[in-house]
């Protein structure tokens, strides 16, 4: 491939504000929404991307000052084109994660302590209630979030969760958990086999999969990303 690719530069700039997986997810979802082909992202496309990101950013960075700073950093890229071709991000983290409607709320939570786990659960339950899930479903979503947050804490030390209200493909809640931990070596064994770790990890991941309607997991030596959704019946 000789195409110049600016994806990595944009991700690098976004990484000042988000963890790497979230930065990628944010970028790719923005590209998808703006109908920009992420596979052949050349320097000439950067201004379009920045315009699209400008619309998406308020959802991710609440503070206007920080948002402006982030945009400034991105705009600088428009004048400094990419130097070398870089591989395009693939896989789950590069998926269009939040396809929010205009009313879609999204909360990003840093997970580094047990209190963060509790906090993430509460955010998830609140959002599930607002979206219209009945009590039992709220509990299932909050529990799935607890399992994912707990896994981050146990195996990756820290990471990030994003909990969003979604309208597409159906109304519901989307949970994304991303960390840069050592990854899960044998994913199939953990997700399907009789595997049961000392701390009950297999149980937690499998449990959260059972509680949600869709569950995708991707794990490399650089980290693990889970994207799970539950829809209002």
First to last CA, the chain: 45
Q: What's the CA angle centered on 102, arms 39 and 47, to 5 degrees?
A: 40
Interface residue with another protein among 20, 121, 131, 178 (CB under 8 A) is 121
Nearer to another protein (CB atom), residue 139 or residue 220: 139
158 scored as a contact of another protein (CB under 8 A): no
CB of 111 to another protein, least distance (A): 13
29 scored as a contact of another protein (CB under 8 A): no
In angstroms, the CA 84 to CA 71 distance is 23
Is the Cβ–Cβ distance between 111 and 160 less than 8 Å?
yes
In angstroms, the CA 175 to CA 161 distance is 7
150 scored as a contact of another protein (CB under 8 A): yes
Write out the binding residues for another protein, residues 130-149 only, by CB under 8 A. 135-136, 138-140, 142-143, 146-147
Of the candidates 55, 56, 50, 48, which has an alpha carbon nearest to the alpha carbon of residue 74?
Answer: 50
**What residues make contact with another protein under the rule CB under 8 A?**
114-115, 118, 121, 125, 135-136, 138-140, 142-143, 146-147, 150, 199-200, 203-204, 206-208, 210-211
């Amino acid at each position: 491939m000789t195409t110049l690719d600016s994806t990595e530069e944009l991700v690098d700039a976004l990484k000042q504000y988000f963890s790497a997986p979230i930065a990628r997810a944010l970028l790719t979802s923005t590209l998808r929404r703006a109908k920009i082909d992420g596979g052949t992202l050349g320097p000439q496309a950067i201004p379009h991307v920045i315009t699209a990101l400008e619309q998406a950013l308020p959802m991710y960075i609440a503070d206007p000052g920080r948002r402006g700073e982030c945009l400034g950093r991105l705009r600088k890229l428009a004048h400094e084109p990419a130097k070398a071709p870089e591989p395009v991000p693939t896989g789950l983290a590069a998926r269009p994660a939040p396809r929010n409607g205009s009313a879609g709320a999204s909360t990003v939570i840093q997970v580094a302590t047990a209190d963060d786990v509790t906090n993430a659960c509460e955010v998830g339950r609140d959002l599930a209630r607002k979206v219209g899930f009945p009590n039992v479903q709220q509990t299932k979503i909050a529990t799935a979030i607890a399992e994912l947050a707990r896994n981050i804490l146990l195996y990756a030390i820290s990471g990030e969760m994003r909990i969003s209200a979604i309208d597409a493909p159906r109304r519901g809640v989307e949970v994304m958990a991303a960390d840069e931990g050592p990854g899960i070596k044998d994913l199939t064994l953990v997700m399907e086999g009789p595997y049961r770790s000392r701390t009950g990890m297999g149980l937690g991941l499998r449990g959260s999969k059972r509680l949600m309607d869709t569950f995708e997991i991707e794990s490399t030596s650089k980290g693990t990303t889970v994207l799970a959704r539950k829809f209002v019946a």
